[in-house]
Every structure is written in C-alpha cells, then in structure tokens.
Chain A
C-alpha cells in the first residue's frame, strides 16, 4: 500500500458477442462480424485505460469477463484486454480472474492466452447434459463439446471451473435433471463451482414471444430441491440462492455484488457501483465504439483533463453532487444514481439475504448507526415466526446474523420486498 487505506475493487468486463442468441437470453449480446469485434475490443481497452484514473486508490481483487460469449474472442484479444487491466490497475497477487466460455467456441490457444494473462477461473455454460433440453433452449453445443472444453481447461492449468446449469427447462424431468447432475459430478475432477439458475421468461426473448411448455411450479420447486440435495451430498455448499461451491471455491466476484463491495463495469451495458454511486454504460455498441475510437469526442469530455486534481472516487465521494454531475457529463454513462441511506439499507438487506449466511445485524448497525429492527420494525420477527427467516449467533464473533430458511429461499421475493422502505 502506497498511501492511505487501499480499497477493494471488482472489475466486470462485458463482451456482447455470441454465435447465436439462445431462446431465453435477454443479455446484451448479439452475433457480430470480425471487424466489429476488433473495434469493440479496441474501444474496451481504451475505456479500461481511461477509467483507471478514477481507481488509483483501489486494489483489484476480482475480474470477471462475462457476456455474451467472451470465449468467442480471439486469444489475442483476450490477452490484450487482461493485459490492459494489469498495466493500469493494482491487481492483487491472488486476484480471482474469471472468464465465461461456451462449449464449441474455446480453443487451446485462447485458454493459454487467458492463463498467461493471469486467468485462473473458467465459467462454462452447460445448462443441461440432455440433448433435447439443449436443443429446446437454443444452445449450439452438445454435452460432448462441454466435456472437451472442460478437459482442455484442466490441461491448460485452469482447475477452478464453474458450470452453469438450468432448472425449469422445457421438457425437464426429475430423471433428466438427476442424469445431468450425475454426469457432471462423475467427472474425475468435478467442477469446483456450480451455478444452478431457474429459467426465467424475459421480455424480448424468443421464449417470451412463444413460450414453450414449462415444468409447473411444483415440479420446478422439486427440481431445485433435488439440485440442492444432490449437490449437498456431493460436498457442495449452497452459499447463495443459485450458487454452489466446493469448500474454499465461492466466487469472489459474485460475492462483491451481494455484499455491496465496489465494482467497476467496462464495456456496453456494464453496471458499476463505487462508493454508493450506481451507474451504467450505454447499451449502444456503435455509440460506445464511436466514443472511444473518435478522439475529438473523447477530448471534449475527457474526465482526466477536467479533474486533474480531484483524484478518484474516494475524494470525489466527499461531494457526491460533483461526482454525479461529473459522471453524467460522461456521454456514455447512464442512470447515475447516488444511493441514499435508505437505498443503501434496502440493498444491504435484499442483496445480502441472497447469501446463505444472510446479513449481519451488527454490521448493519455499524454501517448505518441504526439497528435493523429500528428501520424495519417487526418485520424480521414476523418472518421468523412464519419460518422464512432464521436468526443465529456466530459462536466465534458473537455477532447476530439473519438468513433465509430453505423455504424462505424458495419465496425470497416475498421476503425481500418487505425490506423496501416507504418513500414520498
């Protein structure tokens, strides 16, 4: 540490390209040509470079490159992006550096480039081991493609691997889910991390336009329970509503979101939260590329030129107004929102409750100067009575924690909604 206290930062990098949109996907992603991809990578590198001035007082402890399909990028591009981060940011030695990959797009070269530029965690989108289910979802790969990618990653020295699974898939049954779970845990070196998401029908997706027949609510719930039980028996810990990890392999980057740590998002549509200010990059790829590749534009709005002496977020935060204005002047930043104390309290609760450990009462009190019961009178008690929340005291620290029960997780929206505050 050079001066003052070093703050922790997570970095998210968005790659908005894919081979083909899956039927359920509403992420900011689309197929694109080579030229467009190259321009985007160039713009992305410039953003990473330019924004670094804001984060001089931060140490980066996690980097997550998501998409889209980042593994669609050339190995060269992957190296370029991660190198850019290493050159401009203080990246800790044990930084978790993840990349999302989809079977069928990964090559040995890409993995090597990723590994050589610090990459140590791969997140593979499998969703299901069943051919019919993959087809129903609009996936472009088979289970065999996945196995190949998985083994290649291990060979390249990337042993920390997440596998994305999906429940509630059209045509899914208890048997087919068990088969998927069995197959991925039969792998000699089984995944260190499994994300098991429920399929959601989102607006603007092919599934929204023409919704296929889905497992009903009761089956869906059973599928989730089977997943939890199965993975529990295999030694995984469910540390968040949809995430399971072998001991010591929780995803550090995801935890930043739930625990309201600082994170900076680069690339189109990427969200950031730094010192209780939330903002997001434009979702318009052309505008984004134009902004960073056209120097004239850039100069006019160059944050660094205008605020040479104002340091990064830490000092700016003493005057949120100035910072907000400053961010708003940035042409590609949108929805700049300075979180009020109420916003922060709400987020503390509904994001923290996604974690199996839940939220720490003592931390709430330390952070906001008020107890949870003061801010939300009677609510925790009522949910405990209904069997949705559980209180516990940590034997080592003596601190009190509030967490969802397994049933509470199934209906977590009902619980979380109650932690929103009335405003006028």
Chain B
C-alpha cells in the first residue's frame, strides 16, 4: 500500500516564546480527531514534566494526524514541534529541514518579536513555505490589523488573509488546518531513488534502543533494510519503522519518500544517530548526504559535583543515562580541591545546563553543587599549541600564554524605541560592538550587536528584561572566536584559594567583578567563630577584600519548664544546616555560594 504524496503535509509551527505555539499544536491534534478532548493533557507534545512546567519545548517532537479537509479528502499531517530556545538553534534548523512549510504564530497583542524574526528567517533559509496566523485575538489588547501590517512590512510575507485565531479557546483552528492543506506544498522525492533520510531527533528507549526520528527525502526504508549513517558511519539493520501517534509509536510496513516517521535498529547509543546526519541504504547508498550536517559543540561548561561525595557513582550513572537521550550533553570526570570528585559538563547553553541540572536533581534525586558556568576559551601558548579551556583552573601559567580568544556572538535585540538607550548602555557594559539599528516601525527597532558569549550566558536575559520592562526580545548565534585580554580571577577564602570559585573575565571588568564577588560571598558565607577574609586575586595580586565578621553570640537563653525538645530541634537544625556546607580548610561554605558569580548583577 503506497501513500499518495499529494495527501501529505509536513510542517512545523514557529513562534516567539509564549506566542502560543504549543497550544496551537494541541488544538490541531485535538481537532484532527486523533485524541478526544478528554484525553488531551494540556500540551501533548511537551513530554517532560519540566517542559510543561517551564512552558517551553526542549526536545523536538513529532506527531502524525489525519485531517479530513473541506475538499472531502483525507490528508496526513505531520507536525514537527521544534525546540523554542536559542540554545537549541541547530536542532531547530534540522527540524525545519524535515518540513515543507511552517505556520508562523504571532501574538495579536505583542506582534513581531526577536525570535519571530529569527525563526522566520531560519524557515525561509530552508525554503519553507511560511504563512502567518494571528493568535490570541480574543485578548482585549489584540490588534490583529496592526500585526498583519507589521508582518507584511517587516517580514515581507502575505498576511492579509492570515487566520485570526485563539488557540487557547479553540477559535479559528479549522482555518489554520485548511490553510495548511492549501498553502503548504506536498513533499517531493522519488521512492525509487536510493534512500536518503534526514535525522531530526532521536530518543533512547530501554526496550527498543535508539528510536531515530527522520524525514525520508528519497527512496524507501522498511524492516530488514541495511542502513548506514553517512556522517558517523554507523551501520545497522532496521528492526522496525513507523509513524508517530500522539504519545505513542505506531509501526508500519515502510517509510517512503515524503514521509516522516521513526526507525529502530537496535542502536545502543544516540551518539551514532547525530541530529542532521543522513541515513542511506548501506547496499545502495545515495551519492551525497543531505546538506547542513554539523557536529554540535558545547558552548557552556560547568563543574557538577555531588553534594555528598559518596554519591559520585550515582551522579555518573545519572549522567550516563541522560546522555543516552541527549547527544549534546558532554561530561568528563574532574577533581576539585574544594569539591572533591565530580564532572566537567558541556552544554548547548545556559538553559540546557539548567535543564540537565534540574533533571539530575528531580529525576535522579541528587543534591548537587554546581560551579559557575563558563564558555570555552582558546588559549594559544608560546610554543604554538592551542588548548580549548573549559575549566578555569586549567589555565596555563600566564608566562606561557601567547594570547587568548573568546567566543563572540552576533545578537539581534528587538526593543521598543523608548528603551533603546538603556539597552545600548547594557550592551556597552557587556563589551558589545554596535553593528547597526533598523526601525521595524515607528515604535520599535532592531539593534544589532556583537557580544562576547561570556557576557550574555548568565544574566543577560534578565538584565534585558529589567531594563526594558519586558519590552525587549533577543536572539543570537555564534559568530566565531576573537582575541581578547582575559585574566583568571581567583577567590581566596580565609587565605586559601578555592579552585571551584575561579573564573575567567575580561581584564577591564576584573576589578568590578572581583569586588562584587567578594561582596556576594560575604552574604553567602555564614559567620563563623573566627573572622574570615574573602579576597579576589589576579595572579597572586589581591584586588578586592571583604570580611565575614566572627559570630559573637549564639545561645538559647531559656529552657521552658523542662521541655527540652524545642531546644534539641534548634540544635538539630543548626547541625543540619552545617551538612549542606562544604568544608574549605576550617571554613564552611554553603553550596549555593559556588553559584554566586551568576548573581553579581542582582539589585
């Protein structure tokens, strides 16, 4: 039984965060009858609890539904939900490559935002047919006509007949479905050509092994086909192919050109099925892989340590399991004088880091100490060797460093004109290089900057929001490496250097950061029975100092009529608090102090 290509639509939904992408996806699934309303859990596609809680999509997901259109025909709709965060830009681009068209969701009140633009351009880069829908039209502040004009002016795509919908309240969903059939082209490709399929995601299942999510561009694949991944070279025999029901995998006989589905082949490691790689028939390979494959690199690193040193093996097991599902997670063992045994972990970005950290804590019940995240620096030594520095403690002696390079991103910030001043000031403070500004309409502008990555990974988003009262949005992509005058800032507590607190910083901000770091640590470290100096130093030279005063009084005055249980509870609480501390020399440091560097800009 072959499926008529003209009855397939492969599409995705793109939007700025919170414009209603996942809600619309849910409504489409609901409307197409695959699930009854009762079975619908809010946001079916966001599988992880974490995704649902944060309201963001972390991993790409796909679902196939059947839609009976007004022309009386039944269409197969393959909806590929893309991750919604700049950390996962590469995954987004691969998901887009698996589609033929995109539904652009724009909030009827907010209009175009930075991610709207970034996502639309990404979709257009992949030659996708993009049509807009205006969401949240039932909001009192909705201005659909203004937003339509904005879409036409700014993006330059037809928007006058854009469906006006409320995904939340199920208004206008049929119009969206009809538009999908009408505007998004059916897939092409010849089933008789050699197999050529794009991997856009994969998932590890303890029974089936790795489940590969793919879009077949050419040829066909079925049970028993010997396949090969063209970039990684991994070879295996297909055990099962199928398509995506809502929340379940439904096996079928074969996947042919134009179809979206999954393949299992007893693959043990997601590393063998890299996103963006091309699957071909090992016996009848295609001439060239699909374009766009890239090995993803970690952008942000940090040290992750178990709060209780005895839990080190548990942490290792947990990381191993998470990596089965997340090929972009890197980790290798490291040892810190302050924190003991742990791992240096690499992530796509800070959100990715936070997600992994939360999953380790929640799903694996681990109590963690995390060191300040940093980016990957390139250190060129005088002997010509270049090392990639992921842990500040490993910085070679300054005498053997020729120069250092840091990663730089090109950033686009969309902002309401009245906040241009404060935002430019912020970018300036963060060592940004101004590239230009475009007015979107009279009230909004798009600022273009080059910014060092290490200036934006921690709190740039928050600073942006607070300085624009929420009226700014932001998107960036890695541009490359640039030479920079960087220094390692060391922190000494009670005159002992604490390796886990060292960080790399530009020499111009070193003094300021050192001072703030000392102030922050002074707040975090509880008073001891002795005075504790906290110092920031560069290469042995002290640049800032604070002192935690000695505690002078800690006593329970009264004991009530022989009721000692309260007194004991108080002492127990005191002792319990101590357990959550790290002993550095004779000083006990609370675990959260190791993240202090992240909060230096807190007001």
Residue from A257, A265, A420 within 8 A of B559 (CB atoms): A257
Asked if B443 lies at the interface with its beta carbon under 8 angstroms from chain A, I say no
Closest to A258 in B: B559
Given contacts A278-B565, A350-B571, whether A412 and B560 have CB atoms under 8 Å apart is no
Whether the pair A335, B564 counts as a contact (CB closer than 8 A) is: no
Within 8 A of A (CB), among B531-566: 551-565
Asked if A351 lies at the interface with its beta carbon under 8 angstroms from chain B, I say yes
In the bound assembly, the distance between CA atoms of A256 and B565 in angstroms comes to 16
In the bound assembly, the distance between CA atoms of A346 and B569 in angstroms comes to 12
Most buried by A among B551, B561, B565, B578: B561
Give chain A residues whose Cβ lies under 8 Å from the Cβ of B572.
417, 420
Closest to B563 in A: A271
Whether the pair A413, B557 counts as a contact (CB closer than 8 A) is: no
In the bound assembly, the distance between CA atoms of A350 and B556 in angstroms comes to 11
Whether the pair A388, B529 counts as a contact (CB closer than 8 A) is: yes
In the bound assembly, the distance between CA atoms of A66 and B563 in angstroms comes to 13
The digit string for A173-200, where 1 denotes a CB below 8 A from any CB of B, is 0000000000000000000000001111
Whether the pair A413, B562 counts as a contact (CB closer than 8 A) is: no
Give chain A residues whose Cβ lies under 8 Å from the Cβ of B40.
none
Selected interface stretch from A82-90, A126-134, A216-224, A394-402: A216-224
Give chain B residues whose Cβ lies under 8 Å from the Cβ of A351.
564
Whether the pair B556, A413 counts as a contact (CB closer than 8 A) is: yes
Residue from B560, B564, B565, B570 within 8 A of A413 (CB atoms): B570
Within 8 A of B (CB), among A239-256: 241-242, 256
In the bound assembly, the distance between CA atoms of A8 and B567 in angstroms comes to 24
Whether the pair A411, B554 counts as a contact (CB closer than 8 A) is: yes
- Where chain A touches its partner, the secondary structure class is mixed
In the bound assembly, the distance between CA atoms of A335 and B563 in angstroms comes to 11
Interface size class of A (residues with CB under 8 A): 35 or more
In the bound assembly, the distance between CA atoms of A412 and B497 in angstroms comes to 30
Closest to B550 in A: A411
In the bound assembly, the distance between CA atoms of A409 and B552 in angstroms comes to 10
Given contacts A242-B557, A412-B555, whether A417 and B578 have CB atoms under 8 Å apart is yes
Residue from A335, A347, A350, A411 within 8 A of B551 (CB atoms): A411
Whether the pair B562, A198 counts as a contact (CB closer than 8 A) is: no
Whether the pair B557, A416 counts as a contact (CB closer than 8 A) is: no
Give chain A residues whose Cβ lies under 8 Å from the Cβ of B575.
417-418, 420
Whether the pair A409, B555 counts as a contact (CB closer than 8 A) is: yes
Given contacts A241-B555, A420-B571, whether A27 and B560 have CB atoms under 8 Å apart is yes
The digit string for A339-374, where 1 denotes a CB below 8 A from any CB of B, is 000000011001100100000000000000000000
Asked if A410 lies at the interface with its beta carbon under 8 angstroms from chain B, I say yes
Whether the pair B557, A198 counts as a contact (CB closer than 8 A) is: yes
Within 8 A of B (CB), among A112-149: none
Give chain B residues whose Cβ lies under 8 Å from the Cβ of A271.
561-565
Minimum-distance CB pairs A-B, first 7: A271-B563, A198-B557, A417-B574, A197-B557, A413-B554, A417-B575, A411-B554
Binding site for B on A (CB under 8 A): 10, 12, 14, 27, 64, 66, 197-200, 217-218, 220-221, 224, 241-242, 256-257, 263, 265, 269-273, 278, 280, 335, 346-347, 350-351, 354, 386, 388, 409-414, 416-418, 420
Q: 5 extra interchain contacts, Cβ-Cβ under 8 A, other than A221-B553, A271-B563, A350-B568?
A: A220-B553, A257-B559, A411-B529, A411-B552, A414-B574
Return 21 A-B CB contacts under 8 Å, by A number: A10-B562, A218-B552, A221-B552, A241-B557, A257-B564, A263-B562, A269-B563, A271-B564, A347-B568, A354-B559, A409-B555, A410-B552, A410-B554, A410-B555, A413-B554, A413-B555, A413-B574, A414-B574, A417-B578, A418-B575, A420-B568
Binding site for A on B (CB under 8 A): 529, 551-565, 567-568, 570-572, 574-575, 578
